[in-house]
Amino acid sequence: MRILFLDQSNKLGGAELCLADIAQQFSSTSLVGIFTEGTFPEHLRQFNIPVEILTNQTLAVQKASGLLTGFKSLNQLIPLVTKAAKLSKKYDLIYANTQKALVVGALASFLSRRPFVYHLHDIVSPDHFSTTNRRIIITLANQAALVIANSDASRNAFIQAGGRPDHIHVVYNGFHPKTYTTCLDDSEREDFRKQLAPTDKKIPFLVGHFSRLSPWKGQHILIEALQHCPDNVIALLVGDALFGEQDYVQQLHQQVTALNLEHRVKFLGFRSDIPQLMTACDLVTHTSTSPEPFGRVIVEAMLCGTPIVAAAAGGATELIDHGQTGWLTPPGNARKLADIINTCQNHPTQAKQCAHQAQTQASSKFDLRSVNLRLNQLLNQSIKVH
């Protein structure tokens, strides 16, 4: 199967990691078209996945943009669509992985007469998109041969916004379980923990948060929760601002200072050793204030065998069986989050039992080989139907 994959982002986010895992199996016959150069195309090249940079300009349209901004971006969009359409004639299928890629892919599909597929990694709701962008997503996605949703939450929101229910299928993200289950032995884990939180006081209880620093990702909720936890609870914030959210990063630092938590919050920035960091943590937290489309870090923590607590909204509720494979807390409720952190610290055996059960379940349910097999079936069907 020859596929032209399209992705707007040059940065390495959850949707891009998912696409890399999918594209790798088609690397000998396919191409990933990315709008601009950056860390994502570099990541793909490391796995010998063919990449072509389609333009040297970033499209001005954002999730909150209105109609006027869309019209202003036409001078950027037209050459991009033309190039994608020309490229797609060499392939059987156009695979749009993000919102802007959907626009380019749908228009290129019309010009080249190639079928296109849209991989929906978002919850199409007012929390995330402007009215104009929601209409564009639904209108174009309804013309696709297939829409792949990364969770029931994403699928349901798409249908509620006006999306066709007859051609959207849920396929969860896939993972290589061995990447997470064999990253650190017990001795290495202790050495790693000492590097992260050297102390001669009480043994630290490390709580990790893995996400870009963004208001809706809710790092401020975790910082607030620390006030209600013992002094040896240390928060590790892994990630940094991606999309012009430096003001929020500054707010987080100010919050830490105002609460006198400088010694208990560590900003680690972007890291490539996520499995090692997760394995070193006593608990991983997910604190999104709006519904999460999937929750990649939740599955990663499970695969690492680390207890997980997540905000009970969106895809997160599909991944965690509360009290059995992790914990769910009300979004934005710092006090409830602190209660779970304290429970995990005070009852480590119970926490480890949950983590072990989660690891076993996740290793089976999200195995990349099974996920890609399901995806291949859907893609082949979409080509035959077209």
Q: Do 243 and 349 belong together in one domain?
A: yes
Q: Do 331 and 206 belong together in one domain?
A: yes
Question: Residue 383 above 50 pLDDT?
Answer: yes
Q: Do 256 and 353 belong together in one domain?
A: yes
First CA to last CA distance, the chain: 14
Question: Residue 69 above 60 pLDDT?
Answer: no
pLDDT band for position 71 (cuts 50, 70, 90): very low
Distances, alpha carbon 168 to alpha carbons 102, 119, 144, 149, in Å: 15, 10, 10, 7
Q: Do 161 and 183 belong together in one domain?
A: no
Q: Do 122 and 199 belong together in one domain?
A: no
Q: Do 60 and 164 belong together in one domain?
A: yes
Q: Are 118 and 143 in contact (CB under 8 A)?
A: no
Q: Do 92 and 104 belong together in one domain?
A: yes
Greater confidence (230 vs 386) lies with 230
CATH number of the CATH domain containing 169? 3.40.50.2000
Q: Do 185 and 54 belong together in one domain?
A: no
Q: Do 162 and 197 belong together in one domain?
A: no
pLDDT tens per residue, range 121-149: 999 999 888 898 999 999 999 999 999 99
Helix (H, G, I), strand (E, B) or coil at 292: strand
| Kind and range of the H or E run holding 304 | helix 296-304
Percentage with pLDDT > 70 across the chain: 94
Q: Do 159 and 293 belong together in one domain?
A: no
Q: What are the b/e assignments for 232-260, b being 16+ CB within 10 Å?
A: ebbbbbbbbeeeebeebbeebeeebeeee
The pTM of the full predicted model, rounded to 2 decimals, is 0.91
Structural domain containing residue 253? 177-365
Q: Do 35 and 145 belong together in one domain?
A: yes
- Domain total for the chain? 2
According to DSSP, the β-strands at 93-96 and 146-149 are unpaired
Question: Residue 61 above 60 pLDDT?
Answer: no
